[in-house]
Amino acid sequence: MYDILTLNKIAACGTDIFDKAAYTVSDNAADPTAIMVRSAKMHDMQFGENLLAIARAGAGVNNIPVDRCAEEGIVVFNTPGANSNAVKELAICALLLASRKITEAAAWAASLKGTPDAPKTVEGGKSKFAGPEIYGKTLGIIGLGAIGGKIANAAVALGMKVIGYDPYLSVNAALHLDPAVTITTDINDIYKASDYISIHVPYTPDTKNTIDAEQIAMMKDGVRLINLARGELINSAAVIKAIGEGKVAKYVTDFADDVVLGEENVIVLPHLGASTPESEDNCAVMAAHELIDYIEKGTIRNSVNYPNAELAKTGDELVCIMHRNVPELIAKITGVCASTGANIENLVNKSKKEYAYTMLDITGKVDAAAIEAIDGVIKVRIL
Ligand SMILES: NC(=O)c1ccc[n+]([C@@H]2O[C@H](COP(=O)([O-])OP(=O)(O)OC[C@H]3O[C@@H](n4cnc5c(N)ncnc54)[C@H](O)[C@@H]3O)[C@@H](O)[C@H]2O)c1
């Protein structure tokens, strides 16, 4: 039996995919085979020997100790793109919220309840809530992945000029971009040209405070900033200061902190980006399939710490080896196979930075313990 531990509420359409004859799914498995998680913080967790994988039902993995997991031979998956439509729709909403003083206007209208002649009062008072249209304005997007790319295309469809920056843009993402999107290789072009700037990159030590006082200084006066990616990507204090100086007209963020909460011209949403039933379902289904494929077939798809790899089992054993990405290791592994007369029918070897994954389709039997004893090998599984 494989035990799946859920650390957050995972949509039933995902957890129901696990075959009840082979899996248990619960929020209290003591020694799980795999973990499904949304936003629960895992950095202080200790992982058992039997833990094979962690699937994050969502995109960002900064709540998971990804490097430590790689070191312990635990594959960390995410579900790229599964919540991208939800975030795209909120970003379009954020563009309009940043423009039209909608939240302030609605609060004012609500405050008129019980006052005499509210219809006349609104007509007299509405002019202070006027704001510009987004049509014809320039939207700068930092990060053109699953979410940023969809926003770029939607903004083009709404008549915006879109300029995007993404030094690691995948071929697939590029192919899905509307040809009207201008790509720049200089992030400063985004700051200088945009009326609206929306950031959609992962939060890493390298992307912390991507937008800070120095970047804001380059921006147009009255720029409107949108952050539905991670709070740490934009320096809250620098934005509040720039709002006070009139440099930034509006900041819409999905990330509450004490610096931004309650500030004028800041709209703080309570991390609503992926909070749609459709996105939670998509993420849960994708995460469940990733875990099942890995547990049962050794297939790695959408991992953030190990390379993607798959190999069909045609022989007696499928040997799945997680190891460091160092020279001569494959030769040592095949040497161990030869020592027991095992024949390698097919072999896949993929690497991702310091780590690698090798799958061997074997006729005969291998000595798993001997492979595990090779310096640089982290974990061996025979399927
Ligand atoms: N608010 C929410 O609820 C919510 C929901 C989903 C995702 N997110 C956040 O949005 C982020 C993006 O999600 P996604 O699904 O589009 O991910 P993705 O991996 O599809 O796209 C990220 C893009 O950023 C690019 N990138 C990386 N570093 C960059 C840099 N320094 N400068 C410019 N581009 C860079 C990558 O090349 C990639 O194309 C996630 O990492 C997550 O933190 C937030």
pLDDT digits (tens, 9 = 90+) for 169-214: 999 999 999 999 999 999 999 999 999 999 999 999 999 999 999 9
What would the pLDDT profile of 44-90 be if each residue is shown by its tens digit? Answer: 999 999 999 999 998 889 899 999 999 999 999 999 889 999 999 99
Percent of all residues in the chain with a pLDDT value above 70, rounded to a whole number: 100
User: Which pLDDT value is given to residue 59?
Assistant: 82
Angle, in degrees to the nearest 10, between helices 277-297 and 84-100 = 150
Report CA(148)–ligand 1 centroid distance (Å).
7
Report CA(220)–ligand 1 centroid distance (Å).
24
User: Which pLDDT value is given to residue 175?
Assistant: 96
**177 in ligand 1 pocket by Cβ < 6 Å?**
no
pLDDT over threshold 90, residue 8: no
User: Which pLDDT value is given to residue 60?
Assistant: 82
Percent of all residues in the chain with a pLDDT value above 90, rounded to a whole number: 95
**88 in ligand 1 pocket by Cβ < 6 Å?**
no
Report the nearest-CA residue for atom 19 of ligand 1.
145
User: Which pLDDT value is given to residue 61?
Assistant: 93
**Residue the block writes with tokens 């310096």:** 375
Q: Pick from 150, 166, 177, 233 the residue to mutate for probing ligand 1's pocket: most ligand atoms within 8 Å of its CB.
A: 166
Q: Is the model more confident about 301 or about 340?
A: 301
